[in-house]
Amino acid sequence: MIWLHVVFILSALRLWMIRPDHQPTKKKRSTPCSTCIILGSGGHTAEMEQLIQSLEEEKYQPRTYVYAATDQLSKGRIQQLEQRCFPQSMAKTTYYDIPRVREVGQSLQSVPRTFLLALVACFKVLLKCMPDTIICNGPGSCIPLCMLSYIPRFLGIKHITLVYVESCARVHSLSLTGRLLYGWVDLFFVQWPDLTKKYPKAQYHGILA
């Protein structure tokens, strides 16, 4: 049993050391950045559309989009955006649907099951695309993929950069997803300057519009 305790302690230490706060500053990339973008729904997708339009086509490719299987509307909107903004590289773009972690009105008792299903689906996505960067802005559907992105980091295979953009609707406090991911993402952006006073790691560069 002693060796189990040793493995646990070493694993916990390794996990602590690979947190963003303990990582050296990355050098500027000279090659395209394969980018995975997790779509929420409704307002989350609308804000993500604004962010995507600001990406430089030649720098952020190939692009992978992950969305809830019950949210075909977001997929359609992003496909139209791709045709409009990234005509040269959209052929390399891929789309994956995953089970939603929790549907509106879903009982809390059934969440562990749907979370596990989403986790398995996200693991398959990660194996297929293994991106350089993951960009998300909530809701909770982004948590499984962000969690799994730590596996290659933990094993020393690849450091997948995690970028989280808090919703514009969060003026005075972070969302539940934002609070859960705050200490684990490499870049954390908010859209209201007052939030940087409460959360020192957060960066403010204006509102997505």
62 occurs within a structural domain: yes
Q: Is residue 142 part of a domain?
A: yes
In a domain, 180, yes or no: yes
Three-state secondary structure string covering 89-147: CHHHCEEEEECCCCCCCCCHHHHHHHHHHHHHHHHHHHHHHCCCEEEECCCHHHHHHHH
152-196 tens-digit pLDDT: 999 999 999 999 999 999 999 999 999 999 999 999 999 999 999
Query: Residue 39: inside a domain, yes or no?
Result: yes
User: What are the φ and ψ backbone dihedral angles of 72, each rounded to 5 degrees?
Assistant: -70, -20
The tens digit of pLDDT for each residue in 27-60 reads 778 899 999 999 988 889 999 999 999 999 999 9
5 within domain boundaries: no
Domain count, the chain: 1
Domain assignment of residue 58, yes or no:
yes
Mean per-residue pLDDT, 76-103: 93
99 vs 89: CA distance, rounded Å:
27
Range of the structural domain that residue 185 is part of: 31-101+109-204
Write phi, then psi, for 156 (nearest 5 degrees).
Answer: 75, 20
154: domain CATH number is: 3.40.50.2000
Report if residue 71 sits inside a domain: yes
pTM, entire model = 0.93
